[in-house]
Amino acid sequence: MAILVLFLVVVMQYVEGLVGEDKLLEMGKEKVTQLHFYFHDIVSGKTPTAVRVAQASDSDKSRTLFGVLMMADDPLTQGPEPSSKLVGRAQGLYGSAGQQELGLIMAMNFGFIDGMYNGSSLSILGRNPALHPVREMPLVGGTGFFRFARGIVVATTYWFNSSTGDAIVEYNVTAMHY
Ligand SMILES: *[C@@H]1O[C@H](CO)[C@@H](O)[C@H](O)[C@H]1NC(C)=O
Ligand SMILES: *[C@@H]1O[C@H](CO)[C@@H](O)[C@H](O)[C@H]1NC(C)=O
Ligand SMILES: *[C@@H]1O[C@H](CO)[C@@H](O)[C@H](O)[C@H]1NC(C)=O
């Protein structure tokens, strides 16, 4: 019993030590930044930018490819043409999480290399019903220029080849950050 009490006292002192010092951090003013770029998801050919890394045993029998998981390193460009200026890369996972309708779970980091955004990133986590013309997904965080970001991204299919699955998607990002 005495040992337990002693232990609790030590634990409480430790916790107090961690939270005892109050610090008021000046965050500055919250800003809103809007970004516009194109996302190139190439799954076919010799140099795909997104590859299938896992699947369920009957994913290929599913009309929505339920259970397929892809790893992507997709170029983000200023304009819609693949040769347009590279502004960043979308790196992460997307997988088919819908059985009735194609519904992707997106877990992606958009890392930017352009101008004042160079080295900064945004994290997207949300549902992407990719066959809908316009999809909205949550922006759940960011780094660098986008520290403490939250917001939304609106994805609009710009071009889609239904025989290969390759797509170019327009992204409009609204990020609130400090
Ligand atoms: C982005 O930052 C990296 C590392 O600091 C640097 O090497 C690169 O030249 C920068 N790119 C641009 C376009 O500013
Ligand atoms: C889709 O890809 C196929 C195979 O590469 C190609 O033959 C076809 O022209 C493409 N369609 C469009 C609309 O780009
Ligand atoms: C995305 O932004 C562009 C350029 O600002 C605009 O023309 C377009 O209408 C926007 N798209 C959506 C779906 O909001």
Q: What CA–CA distance (Å, rounded) separates 21 from 58?
A: 56
- Lowest mean pLDDT, pick from 15-19, 65-69, 98-102: 15-19
Q: What is the 3-state secondary structure (H, E, C) of 91-154?
A: EEEEEECCCCCCCEEEEEEEEECCHHHCCCEEEEEEEECCCCCEEEEEEEEEEHHHCCCEEEEE
Q: Which pLDDT does position 45 carry in this prediction?
A: 97
Q: Which pLDDT does position 98 carry in this prediction?
A: 97
Q: Which pLDDT does position 83 carry in this prediction?
A: 97
Average model confidence (pLDDT) across the chain: 92
- Ligand 3 neighbourhood includes 134 CB (under 6 angstroms): yes
CA 118 to ligand 1: nearest atom: 1
Look at domain 27-177 and name its CATH class.
Answer: mainly beta
- Ligand 3 neighbourhood includes 172 CB (under 6 angstroms): yes
Tell me which of 32, 172, 173, 174 to substitute to probe ligand 3's pocket, judged by most ligand atoms within 8 Å of the beta carbon. 172
Query: pLDDT digit string (tens) for 57-72?
Result: 999 999 999 999 999 9
Given a contact cutoff of 8 angstroms between Cβ atoms, the answer to whether 104 and 86 are in contact is no
Q: Is the pLDDT of residue 144 over 70?
A: yes
